[in-house]
Structure 1
């Protein structure tokens, strides 16, 4: 009996040993990297694997930042570090692949980006208290130019420069304040190619004046004292005038003038008002955001002609070929009940004098004002204006 028990024990031990050996034999020793790729956006780059090395060069435009790694390894194996945690490459990487049976293999990944050849100066902006002025850059000649309002001192400017990524620039733009003489900057690409830019900043000191004085039509301007006018109450409405202004060169305006055919009178008895009145001017950009507003006093002796608004203290800057809307009206026109005629030209034409006009009408009875944008509408006429300034 004892012999049988010993034989059973021996058989049982041998069986366990065989099972253990069989289990160990099933563990894989595979610890290779089978494929290696980098994805950025919708572009994927595959890289060759030679023995324990992964290497390759990507184009200079393929930034090795904000990337995703895809690394294939055998089933059951493990890799460290986890490729999904790597979002940028700025030097060699070491990956450790561990097989199921614990065998380890190290891989060196050395992926590089070609040095960039770009050496462009992309932007030069002059920052003033009220404006950000962008210079004109000619990348072929390297010449950068901009005329800036005279109020700014060329010897003490705040200039911001943007240039190609990976490039360097000398001297450091932050150290340069004096642009009273041309300033040269050298932009050096990552690959070592240099390009010289010459910056010429000048003050806007060329005086110009534009006048639109041809008149063949006149529109009601101001208040209305008429008692028997259809659908209009006496001393209720105020009518304003406006004009689109587009200049062909950047301009710092100093004076804007509007034209009225005669002095202010009451309609029914044609009596002259013979007192000073105040007109208001509102200037808006292309999106009809208010840029500035000012007033001017018209003398009691005014008998028709151009009426100037002084714009010098407004520090306005009109950009070439952009649309600006100028609106003007008689303050307290409803209560005063006096009117004049806005001079206009209703012919077709091109250029500064032929931009479209506006008209606006407010009513005390409707509780609105010519300050409200919704009381203004387009008008087909081109109203007589003058514009002076420096470019």
Structure 2
């Protein structure tokens, strides 16, 4: 059996990395959603891997680096490109298509320009290219403002993003109407719910579906400080089990699953995050974070592990929740009306913005905005065994 090669680009977007494909370059069997596509993407990334290292693939053995993206010219009016995100499980045989990746959203526009998927007349020689993206997983519009220099995407610059070692060019990403279109931004209708988790506890929780479905709990209710770094949670299997149990019961309460068992096949969503009032702490890079520099602290779980920084979609959820008076996030930030929030995460600080309004059907947010950066790391082909999709 021989290997086949498929055109691909390995990119960093925000604090994540993933393998990017143009839909037109995928093998015929993988051009449509289904088992063949999932098998291909898993083999590219190196999953499922019982060793949880992804040595035989492009994945980096973390939720931030076990990611795939498929981009094509858009068939939706008013949009330039369609974008699909596949979160590849590391040790299990499935690809989760239930949500978006906010970090890699910043790389989708640059990838589309590099790949010739954007009409030339829309691209300035020097200036900002505004790329309108249809996010197919969640049915939402994203607007990426990509800097251009001499007719090419500007990748290098002095914008610093905590969680990324080197500076790069800033890309503004706008998530239009990020709340759930099928119902209220708060699926239970409440800003705060009693979330009863057998054998773990009952917690005041804000359950929100904006950016990505997220369960927010005050750190003190969990017996945590809110300043924890990755090793303090990920090195403790008891905490990991607790958070997964909380996530499953929260998913049930949010109506995302019909039985607790289904949570195992929906690892990407919902997220679980714990928040606290501002405190001094040392980030994972030993950078001192001062309480007066942030409005609150947030730690979030992703694919069963504490995230090293903050997922972009979870940052959208934080911004949306903070903008509504009375939520767990808003109260941790000091309460009151706000259209921006600066929060501390394990790697540093991030500022995000959102403006919420009350409508006849519940709370809604027009758009959430954050700054990210992106860079091509490698381009060419990935190779997989020719029988991968059988």
TM range (shorter): under 0.3
Larger RCO (alpha carbons 8 Å, 6+ apart) = 2
* TM-score w.r.t. length of structure 1: 0.22
* TM-score w.r.t. length of structure 2: 0.22
Of Structure 1 and Structure 2, the greater helix share is in: 2
